[in-house]
Structure 1
Amino acid sequence: MRGAHRQRTLLAEDWYDVGLAGLLTATTLVGWAATYRGAGLWFFGLGAVLVGLAVAVTVVSLGGGAEHVTLALVLVYVVAAGPVGGGVDALWGLDALGAGTTGTLDGWRALVGTHPPLDAAGATLLPPAGLCLLAAGLSAALAMRSDVPGRPLLPQLVQLLVVLAAARAETVAVVAHGIGFVVLALVWLRVRTRQSESAESGSAGRGTTPGLAAAPKPGALPPTRSRGRGPLFPAGAGRAAVGPAMVAGAVVVALLLAGGTPLTERRVLRGSLPAYDPAPVRTPLDDFRDYTRRRPASEGNVFDARLLRVRGVEPGTRVRIAVLEAYDGERWSAAEQTDPARIDDRYLRLASTVDNPAAGTPAEAVVTALGGWSVPWVPTAGAVQGFTFLGAEREALTEQLRFDPAAGSGLVTTPELAPGTDYAARVRLPEVELPAPDDEPFPDLAPGLAEAGAFLDPAVEAWSAGAASPMEAVLQVARRLKRTGYYTDGAARGEEDYAAGHSQLRLGREFVLAATTAGNDEQYAAAMALMANRLGVPARVVVGAVLPGRGIVRGRDVEAWVELRVADGSWRTLPTAAFMGRRPPPSEEEERPAGSPPPQRIFPEQTPDDTSPPRQQPERPEPEPEDSADSELADSAEEGSGVLGTVLRWLLVVVLLVALVGLVPALKWWRRRRRRLAARPSDRVSGGWEELVDAARDLGTAVPGGLTRPAQAQWLEPGAGAAVGTMAERADVLVFAPDPPDDAEAERFWSLVEAERTRLTAARSPLRRLRALLNPASLLPRRDR
């Protein structure tokens, strides 16, 4: 029988089993195709299949059983895992053992903790390669050593379940893969069953005497299979039901893993294990006043500091620092699993490629964290489709990065992203689209956000009255909030009572529902997003910056805006300017006892179509009729002062432009006067020659620095008169003669200089002479000075 542990020669049916075991293992390997990127999966996976089969054939040929094959396979894996996981340096000894153990743990941790597709290199390949090695070897060994037809399928079924649980979630591929596996398994099962039936028939047809059996040939299999253990599946009608039962079982398992019908996703180990929780991490919205002007500057304030350098994208691109999608009554925070339409909305590790389909212009944003950056958030732009840290700390930072492709937000697990860190992100930059009133909102809201804004219902109901659609209601509320609100950072004198924060108390009684709605981006964006969700439009808060022209983001550039989700699943930007008021709060607010709540707004207020300025304190009595004239005079005076201020500003701009245009000619006139009125006549002569050379430079003649006057004269000769060489020699005589020149000689030399300057400029067009007058070339340093 096959189970005998002795050295023997393999027969044709054994090679059928070996080939089908390898083919079934390779079929299971296809299940990893969407999880890995690169040819390394196929090289190492198929290589592991061949090695597993070779080990099984060798051990069984030497008389070993399945337990010996298992031990040999584990030994091969331990030896090979070191170089695969730790490189060629981990080839021998304890280094190989340690690298293999560490690589195995890192490989499985990366597999379930990284957004696919993973890079098919290094330790990340150990899970599929190890499974292929063990499954192929054990299946082949069981097939060669066992007479039970279905027993070799057990390692393959275990491998299939692991692939379904750990590979990337693609439902259609899962069902197709499962059915293909079952079909091939049935073919193998049928082959083994026919072999068993043929052996039984052959034994019965030889007519042996009862009780006697022919002695087997040395190294050959006995003619019949062992009947003592019996087949794993019954014969006859029961065996005919095996195929449909396996297909039905595969479909049921696939449906359970897929998560229901219609099949849009399936449950995988990556989505079941806990991911990095970003909720406790402080966000730029929590510390928004660090980015606002504080006088005197407080510790941690970065209003004037350089935070980021962004290259590769156009100015005006929105750079997103943090995307906040959850509100707990105290603060907006980053969160995972808030997008019902996606299964990758979790903060996991990133490979070099991110599967994040999006429309837009492709670009590569290269970001550098500058000295003012002291937070763990990793700014990006658009939809990230590839990410790579640059520099010596690349591997450590890649290990620390956690990124949510659905939100487009990432952070490192260390306290901060160190200044000087560089990284490149391949992105798709969508066209900036503002929400339109007729846009249909996305049907599913993030869990809990609609209920979280219930405390703002008085304002939501009053300000959205009359809107024809949810999106129109949101835009209407935004306009009303902007018209009602004032801007303050709480830093100006008299505005200290306007506190930071975005708790229910700060956003409700002290902001939207207060008689004076005053705050900065933090309060406006936090409240606006809550009210949008309350109206049935999914909304989230984004903290970032609109990239300035030179690509340097400073603290003053940081702002908070709101993104609204429309029916097609895309997010539309509701800019800060659409809902935030910019007027300073009124200074004549009534005094109230310390600790007492601010006066509350009375709702409903004005109708949405009323564009008149809101009345901030409705409880205040109306002014008497005789005060109306004074009020009109004050309004007229205020309007007149506004017109006068505009005129003065334009006048100042004109004066500055004239001053800038006349600066260069003024500096040249002052330089010429200083040279001509120098204290020593010899200095006047030297200055005269320099004046002639500078005039030529302004006209476009390139006179090299560091030359003698006669050498400079040769450069001037093509555009100057023939006397310029004589002037150079005369200047040398006057400057280096034993007797210094007198005032008259210096003045005569300056007369020659003026004549030559006139000759130089006369040959040029009026436009060229004007350009020479404004050209600052001669004011720049020269080597010969």
Structure 2
Amino acid sequence: MTDSPRRTGATGTTTRVRPHALVPDRHAWTDIAFTTALAVVALTAFGTSFTGSAYLVVGVLGVVVAVVVTHLTRAAGWPVVSAVVICLGLFFLLGGPLCLRSLGDTSVLPGATTLARVADQAVFGWKDLLTTLPPVDGDGPLLVLPWMSGLLAGLVGLALAHLPVRRVWLSAALPVLAMTAVLSGAIVLGVRHPQSLLLQGSVFAALALAWLAVRARRASVSVQGGSTSWVRSAGAVAMVVLAAGLALPASGWVGDERAVARNWVEPPFDIGRYPSPLAGFRKYIDLRGRNDPANVHDKVLLDVEGVEPGTRVRFATMDRYDAMVWGASDNALPGPADDAFQRVSSTIDNPVEGDEVEVSVTLGEGWTGVWLPTVGALQSMRFETADARAKADIFRYNLATSTAVVPSGLAPGDRYSFTAVQPDDELTDETVGSAEQSWPLPPGAAFIQGPTEKWTEGAGADPMDRVLAAAEHLRTEGKYSDGVGRTERVHVAGHSVSRLSDEFVNAPQIVGNDEQYAATMALIANDIGVPARVVLGAEVPEGGRITGREVAAWVELRAADGSWKTLPTDAFMSRTPPADQVPETNTPMSGTVIPPPNPIPPPSDAGEQSDADLKERKATRKKPEEEEDEGLIADLPGWVGIIVTYVGAPLLLLVLLLGAVVGLKAWRRHRRRSAGSPSARFVGAWRELVDHARDLGQVVPLGPTVTRREQSVGIVSDRAAVLARRADGFVFGPSVPEASAAATYWESIDAERRAMSQEVGRWQRVRAAISLRSLRRTSSPPSSDADPAPSARVTPAPGRVATSAGRVRRLADWRSRRAPD
């Protein structure tokens, strides 16, 4: 604590009065300032993930709250856990108004709903952040993440700054390492492009090194050694400049790609990437002698074992119409229904009432794509082909639509087995429709409202009766055509709005096949108020072999109890060909052909591919050597890249800095050993022994008036006094010393340096090698490096040379104080 001066009236003396314990002292203010500054810089890494600056305001508030709480609890003498508990309470108490923009369910305290939302975002918000295209809404609930990060940064940083640790270096480094971890976490949750290299690189590094230097100086024993504060400051600045200079070329070795979690966290599966199977229905029709390689009418699609003939096999369920096609979608059902394509294990929690069956399926020559044919509601799945494990890892299943997908694709010969429950899905007279407007008609599909009203006029008010009446009208009034005959080619494929409106329900004659009938029937049911969806599949014939001729499209209707009932194809589609044959002309067809969407190449067996992966595959071809090298890198796990980037790079920088210190000392030793005159070599050898002693932590007197014999008293060595006298004898002797004598003296100095190193532990020898004490600029040495006059002699002042007994006593004291290795 800093003391304030107070003068007493009686004696006139000045005393120091200690302020209140809650007021930070000089050291506490320093730690608070550095903690706050480093935390704010770390929080700026979220800048590329959020819009606006609300994230930074919320994060800085978290830092301030945590710093204040941590300091007050420490000043009050409370344990660290009390600060953790208080910050946790404030996290939930202030999380609603700061992040959710809600005060909760009461006027003062947050209610259960607010607390649950804050907790949910704290646990699962990171996943929402990583799987959302950045930048996300800066005013949304994901603000809980910077709020929580700010609290953690302030709490951990300041708590570790006051944590009592015996080792000086660890005490100085702990809070700095904590703030570095906060920055690394924010970067990992960010995007590939940094918000600011200046802030997250240079500014953060400068603040961290400065705080580290301040804490190290505060925690260590003060050994001035004749140096001044400005010299030490200049040395610190030089080290920062050296670090920056080494970091620049080192960054080129690491690479320019930032390793962020977004690169490895898989986004939600988008079933919309794959074309609707209903749009390609005409590959299953009979071409009547025409040749089309894509047609599979007579090819084997599946060999099914374990079910009775007549069982419906589901290829895909299409539950969303976008005015172009009926397609599969995620979360099409309202409410908490589990309606999404999600990864499942070999055992599936899918409680459904019905008869359990065990089915084995072998794909035939005509089957390709990502859709996996199944029966009923799956309970378990087992792939039996060579790449079974890869398929099982990426297999996805939609519990609500009973649709299975293998994103890597399926091929003829693939075999799999599963257990399933066949529910009672037959539509009876007692079935009651759900009568809820779940899926409003898409824009442009309002054309169906007129025909629906007209075809169901006498059906009454019951929604299911109206649906069945419309189905009966389609069956009796409609005609069937695949558009293959010469006079039927005007009946084109597709089920877009234009195809279903002008060329189907509003045409002079309703003509189409399963594609148009099923698409229209589902729209009619939705318009009436009974949720409906289209299913593509086939009924198992005798023998279990399904070819393209068995493929059909039917409609499923949602009953009042939430189950789905099947409206068979024959209930709304006639097999009667068109009554009136329209002659073929050269005029363009009135209908617009809506071809199926171009199929997207299915991802590889390793998992789903992103757009970035597809673009990289289309990039310019690289040289074979480069491709081989990149292949080796790609085979490495993702965590190796993270370790190399965030652990290897700092370690490499640290090794380079320490190596620079060792190399500088070696260069200095070489320069002293190879000085121009033998006398200067004697002087350099003695200075080498003094510098070695200082690096070992020994207090050696320095200054222009200090002789070598006085310095030998501070050197913990049995031969220091003898070596000092030998140096004086040659430097101040009557004649110029020989070069061989200087070489012999250097050998003696080297031997003594080795002996001094053997007296200490291994860790202390390492610290001496990288110590900066001897590199600090000091005042002039006891004798200059210049070759003195042969006749010059210096006689030590009386009483200034320590006795032999004093030297021995000092040696014993230093050895007793030396910490064990």
Shorter-chain TM-score: which interval? 0.3 to 0.5
TM-score normalised to structure 2 length: 0.41
TM-score normalised to structure 1 length: 0.43
